[in-house]
Structure 1
Amino acid sequence: MPKMKTNSGAKKRFKKTGSGKIKRKKAYKRHILTKKTSKRKNNLGKTTLVDKSDQKSVERLIPYS
């Protein structure tokens, strides 16, 4: 059976943790930042985990990570 192809966009956006969960960056920190509070912008800069309901679909995109 041939190798599966990793989705190029997904491999740039997601990383697996040691326990097998998937890390992601948060959205809404690219532009229109003047109206957002410093606290909100600071929290948007941090990484978070992919939700349990989306985990399986993201794992299909990055099979060898």
Structure 2
Amino acid sequence: MPKMKSHTGMGKRVKVTGKGKIVAEQAGKRHLLEKKSSTRTRRLTGTVELAKADTKRIKKLLGR
């Protein structure tokens, strides 16, 4: 049986922490920034831990 390939696109978008949590950039800061308040755009910076519901699917894509 061939080796399992990891999803390279997902590997570029997320990071797995030492304890196995999935961390990614906060969504909503790519476009239409003019109408969003400065407070809101500042809050959207940085990384966040992804929802528990998504972790199983993402780990499967990463081959973990």
TM score, norm. by length of structure 2: 0.87
Q: In the alignment, what sits opposite 1:41?
A: 41
RMSD of the alignment, in Å? 1.3
Identity of aligned residues (%): 45
1:5-63 deviations in whole A, cap 9, x for unaligned? 11121011010011110001122111111111111111211110111111100000112
Q: In the alignment, what sits opposite 2:2?
A: 2
Instruction: List alignment gaps of at least 5 residues for structure 1.
Output: none
Moved over 6 A (4+): none
TM score, norm. by length of structure 1: 0.86
How many residue pairs get matched?
64
Instruction: List alignment gaps of at least 5 residues for structure 2.
Output: none
